[in-house]
């Protein structure tokens, strides 16, 4: 009777072991399948990361190209800041063609200044106590635009009817920020009396000890 009982227990144990082996076999198969799925997912993620990186690089290139095209389309434009409202009359282009050469005293101007179009920024007309809107104008000749810009950068403050006016290039927001980032360095160069010029689009040239040094970031 004792031997029979032991054999029954051994049979139960063997049956349990056999059942565990089957469960382990099923679990192993599932684990293998899960590992394959994980490997496939890792490969997919790696491919996606590579694709995203390429897309980000393409976006940067396209953004730079778009910004360059935008600035190229504005290359003959200038901003006149501070001119009192209404002085330009109903024909701003004609006013600027007559007024600018006299106001800026441009002896190097070869022919009559020709302005293709001019207008105030498209914002509500300010009150008398508020700052006048910017007057944007496009010159027909790029050489004239360079002449005006060069004169403005080399001259002192421009005063008209007791108001200070400024002339700035028409730049995209991104390029404006890039050029603005050099302001602190430009002030430092002035304090140290080191000749410099900020070249287009945003490259600083410093003349130091007989050398031309170029920098693309402050």
What is the residue range of 58's domain? 1-71
Round to whole Å and give the CA distance between 74 and 149. 14
Q: Can you read off the two tokens belonging to residue 165?
A: 């006016």
Angle in degrees, 0-180, between the axes of helices 2-73 and 173-180, rounded to the nearest 10: 90
pLDDT for 152: 63
pLDDT for 97: 94
Per-residue pLDDT tens over the stretch 17-37? 888 888 888 888 999 888 999
CATH of the domain at 216: 3.30.250.20
CATH of the domain at 98: 3.30.70.1820
Q: Are residues 200 and 117 in the same domain?
A: no
Q: Are residues 136 and 157 in the same domain?
A: yes
**How many domains is the chain built from?**
3
In this structure, the number of other CB atoms found within 10 A of the CB of residue 85 comes to: 15
Radius of gyration of the CA atoms of the chain, in A: 37
Lowest mean per-residue pLDDT among 49-53, 103-107, 209-213: 103-107
Q: Are residues 79 and 93 in the same domain?
A: yes
Instruction: Tell me the pLDDT band of 154, cut-offs 50, 70 and 90.
Output: low
Instruction: Tell me the pLDDT band of 199, cut-offs 50, 70 and 90.
Output: confident
pLDDT for 212: 94
More confident residue, 104 or 10: 104
Q: Are residues 104 and 145 in the same domain?
A: yes
**Residue range 83-105: mean pLDDT, rounded:** 93
Q: What is the pTM of this model?
A: 0.65
> Which of these three, 27, 47, 71, is where a domain ends?
71
Round to whole Å and give the CA distance between 108 and 140. 16
> Which of these three, 53, 71, 89, is where a domain ends?
71
Round to whole Å and give the CA distance between 40 and 34. 10
Residue 193 has pLDDT above 60, yes or no: yes
Residue 54 has pLDDT above 60, yes or no: yes
> Which of these three, 71, 96, 117, is where a domain ends?
71
Q: Are residues 123 and 157 in the same domain?
A: yes
- Answer whether 159's CB lies under 8 Å from 152's CB: no
**Cα 45 versus chain centre, distance:** 30
């Amino acid at each position: 009777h004792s031997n029979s009982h032991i054999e029954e227990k051994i049979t139960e144990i063997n049956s349990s072991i056999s059942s565990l082996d089957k469960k382990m076999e099923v679990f192993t198969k599932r684990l293998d399948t899960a590992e394959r799925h994980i490997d496939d997912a890792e490969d997919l993620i790696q491919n996606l990361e590579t694709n995203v990186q390429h897309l980000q690089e393409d976006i940067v290139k396209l953004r730079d190209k778009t910004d360059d095209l935008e600035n190229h389309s504005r290359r003959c434009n200038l901003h006149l800041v501070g001119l009192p409202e209404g002085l330009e009359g109903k024909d701003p282009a004609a006013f600027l063609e007559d007024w600018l050469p006299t106001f800026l005293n441009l002896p190097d101007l070869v022919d009559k200044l020709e302005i293709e179009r001019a207008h105030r920024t498209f914002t509500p007309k300010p009150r008398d106590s508020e700052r006048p809107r910017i007057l944007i104008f496009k010159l027909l000749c790029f050489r004239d635009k360079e002449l005006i810009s060069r004169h403005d950068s080399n001259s002192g403050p421009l005063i008209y009817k007791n108001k200070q006016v400024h002339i700035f290039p028409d730049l995209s927001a991104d390029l404006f920020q890039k050029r603005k980032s050099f302001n602190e360095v430009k002030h430092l160069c002035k304090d140290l009396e080191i000749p410099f010029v900020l070249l287009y689009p945003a490259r600083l040239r410093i003349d130091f000890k007989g050398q031309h040094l170029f920098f693309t970031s402050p």
